[in-house]
Amino acid sequence: MWGLFKRWADRRRERQRALFVFYDGTQERRADPARVWRALINHAEMNFEDHMPLADQGHEPEVSIVLKAIREVFEVSAWDNRTLTGLTDWETLDLIRQFDEYLDELKKSTDPSQMPYLLSVYGSSTAPEPPSGPTSSSAGSSSSNDASPTVEASPSSEPSATPS
C-alpha cells in the first residue's frame, strides 16, 4: 500500500515540475525543457532553423548534424547491436517531435502568469518578456550552465514522452 501511495506522490510531483520525460534506449529519463531548448537553439554545429527542414527531407550532411546535436543535447547514445542499447536514428530524430509536442502541451496547460519566462522562450504570444537574461533569440550568448540540459535518469523503464 505504501508503494502505491509513493508512486502516486512521485507522479504528482513530476507533473508539477514540468520536466520533459523521454526514453533513452535503456530507461526513462527526465530533462529541464528550458535548458534543452536553449541547448538546441544555441548548439555550436546545428542551426535549428536551417538544418531541421533539410534533415526532415533526408538531406546529408544535415541529417548527421542534427542527429549528433540531438544526441549531445539529450545525452543519448546511438543504437549499439552489441549491447542492444541506445536509440536508432529514427528514434533519435523522433525525440525532437516528442519534445515539440511536449512544449505545445506545456504552453496549453500552463497559466502564463505562473511561468512567464518559460512561455516566452517557447513562443507564447500571451506571455510577457522575461525580466532579464538571454532568451531564445540571443543564440550564442549563453553560459555553459544555461546551454547544457539537465537530464535525470528514472527508475522506471517504460518509454514515455508526454507530460506526466
151 contacts 30 by C-beta, under 8 angstroms? yes
| Rounded Cα–Cα distance for residues 88 and 156 (Å) | 20
107-to-37, 119, 130, 132, 159 alpha-carbon distances in Å: 14, 6, 16, 21, 22
Question: Would you place residue 153 in the very low, low, confident or very high pLDDT band (cuts 50, 70, 90)?
Answer: low
Maximum Cα–Cα distance across the chain: 53
* Higher pLDDT among residues 97 and 160, named by residue: 97
* Higher pLDDT among residues 131 and 159, named by residue: 159
| Rounded Cα–Cα distance for residues 59 and 55 (Å) | 5
What would the mean pLDDT of 59-77 be, rounded to a whole number?
96
What pLDDT was estimated at residue 147? 46
pTM of the model: 0.63
Question: Would you place residue 106 in the very low, low, confident or very high pLDDT band (cuts 50, 70, 90)?
Answer: confident
Question: Would you place residue 44 in the very low, low, confident or very high pLDDT band (cuts 50, 70, 90)?
Answer: very high
Check whether the bond before 116 is cis (ω within 30° of 0).
Answer: no
How is the chain split into domains, by residue range? Answer: 19-153
